Amino acid sequence: MLIVQIKGNVKYPITLDPSVWIFDDRKILFDNAFSQPATEDIELDEVELTGNRIKPPVNKSIRKYNKKELLSNSYAMPIHDFLLNAEIDNDATEVILETDQGQENISIKQLMDSLLLFSINGKQIKEQGPVHFYFGDGSNQDNPIKGIKKIHIK
């Protein structure tokens, strides 16, 4: 299964499908992932509001990148916006990353600042995928958490 669930102490459990993120303008080049902030401010004129929900900015990247770049670069996605949509409850205290190999416990802050690598050299991550988890500060850059299936907020 190549999806990641965010569940637990959230208002809206959601399912992430990293296979479609290549068309999302929030993705960043992995080569630049630790040289810029993981969460960038979105200008309001670029955001379409539906009630209080933000539609993901898509298709602008299709104009910015040529097909060769999309199929040869590695990309990561900041998880911050997805967590805002899930609406983590105020009494949440920790996060359990459920992986192929077991569990990893991290803080809410670490999760909010993190990146999910979803494409390596233009290809979807299937082995030990669908995403690799990187702390926003790059402290686990040489040893990411791989094989994430669920992000359980406690």
Q: What is the pLDDT of residues 98-132, one digit of tens each?
A: 999 999 999 999 999 999 999 999 999 999 999 99
Identity (one letter) of the amino acid at 3? I
Contact 16, 3 (CB under 8 A): yes
Kindly report the pTM of this predicted structure. Answer: 0.81
Maximum alpha-carbon separation in the chain: 45
> What is the number of structural domains in the chain?
1
**Over residues 55-83, mean pLDDT:** 76
Comparing 23-32, 47-56, 94-103, 123-132, which segment has the lowest mean pLDDT? 47-56
Q: 20 is in which domain, residue-wise?
A: 4-153
Q: Does residue 84 sit in helix, strand or coil?
A: helix
